[in-house]
Amino acid sequence: MHRTYQTTIPHRPEMIGLIRTAFERGVTFFDTAEAYGPHECERILGEAIESFRDKVVITSKFGWNIDLETGERRPGLNSRPEHIKLAVEGSLKRLRTDRVDLLYQHRVDPQVPIEDVAGAIKDLMDQGKVLHWGLSEMGLSTLRRAHAAVPLTAVQSEYSMLWRGPEQDVLPICEELGIGFVPWSPLGVGFLTGAIDARTRFAEGDIRGVEGRFAPENLPHNLALVELLKSWAERKQATRAQIALAWLMVQKPWIVPIPGTTQVGHLLDNVGAGAVRFTPDEIAELNDAVRAIQVQGQRLPDAVLVYSGVEAPAKS
């Protein structure tokens, strides 16, 4: 539920049931944000897990410029310290909890020094309202500065066979500093499951319809990844989604993918990825095959990509 391509929020009772089924199947790490809905996904998660709150880890996010009362989306970002603290109070209320286990800055605010953000987080930690914190889609200098100010637990960025950008710089820094990595969209916005083919046309409002990697001139080439996954799925008696998730988990032991879904069947499929095993030779072979496929097309539209890799201003 953390990133949906529908134009409406899924039906609440169905999603509550889905979350509870996930917990029954051993899932204990749930990711949400004030921006999802906005606010509604936090409410759904809070209701779903209330009876077993102490047995799960909740992550949420702040940082978009969202009205604290109405949930109205406003232009740009807002990581002013006073806003962060009020945003967290709202998240706690919607999540029906007294603490957020892991709180991310959803995107770096180019108007607020990361040291000021870290200071607000430290205050919340001292109050027991936030236990750990992280960043998402940040610039590399900001990553180091944030960790120096208040040690980070995790970084969240897009990472999958379809987008391997973090391998160049982000993952090495995480390994150096001892920071966990949480890939969002680990199934390539559904692409790696085989649900998209050369004939696919996306509904109005579906962001994939304006992503260059899914444009008609690029999609046929990029489908080589899906064919690669199909061959490995047959070889391992698994599904393409399971191979894609298992591939991520063997890259580093501190990588924890967060596939989102609104369907029980897909949930069970994703959970099954933990049973897929690769020998060292197999993972080397698969890595070589993935690297040989050069994905064509930009991963996000310019209007969205402008918020990634941003560096926070220096503290005066």
**Which pLDDT score, from 0 to 100, does residue 11 have?**
80
**Which pLDDT score, from 0 to 100, does residue 6 have?**
45
Confidence label for 205 from pLDDT (cuts 50, 70 and 90): confident
Q: What is the DSSP code (8-state) at residue 206? A: -
**Tens of pLDDT along 236-275?**
999 999 999 999 999 999 999 999 999 999 999 999 999 9
Amino acid present at 271: V
**Which pLDDT score, from 0 to 100, does residue 285 have?**
99
Confidence label for 7 from pLDDT (cuts 50, 70 and 90): very low
**Which pLDDT score, from 0 to 100, does residue 268 have?**
97
Q: Please, what is the average pLDDT of the chain? A: 96
**Which pLDDT score, from 0 to 100, does residue 2 have?**
43
**Which pLDDT score, from 0 to 100, does residue 4 have?**
42
| Dist. CA 17–CA 11, nearest whole Å | 10
Which secondary-structure segment (H or E) carries 75? strand 73-77
Q: Which of 36, 104, 159, 307 is catalytic?
A: 36
Quick one: CA dihedral 292, 143, 308, 197, positive or negative?
positive
**Which pLDDT score, from 0 to 100, does residue 306 have?**
97
| Dist. CA 229–CA 81, nearest whole Å | 44
Spell out the domains of the chain, with CATH numbers in brackets.
Answer: 1-152 (3.20.20.100), 187-253+263-311 (3.20.20.100)
Instruction: Determine whether 26 is exposed, middle or buried from the number of CB atoms within 10 Å of its CB (0-12, 13-18, 19+).
Output: exposed
Residue 5 has pLDDT above 80, yes or no: no
**Which pLDDT score, from 0 to 100, does residue 10 have?**
67
Active site residue 159: no
Confidence label for 278 from pLDDT (cuts 50, 70 and 90): very high
Residue 199 has pLDDT above 60, yes or no: yes
Residue 1 has pLDDT above 60, yes or no: no
CA distances from 57 to 82, 101, 213, 294 (A): 25, 6, 33, 36
Residue 8 has pLDDT above 60, yes or no: no
**Tens of pLDDT along 82-133?**
999 999 999 999 999 999 999 999 999 999 999 999 999 999 999 999 999 9
**Tens of pLDDT along 26-36?**
999 999 999 99
Confidence label for 72 from pLDDT (cuts 50, 70 and 90): very high
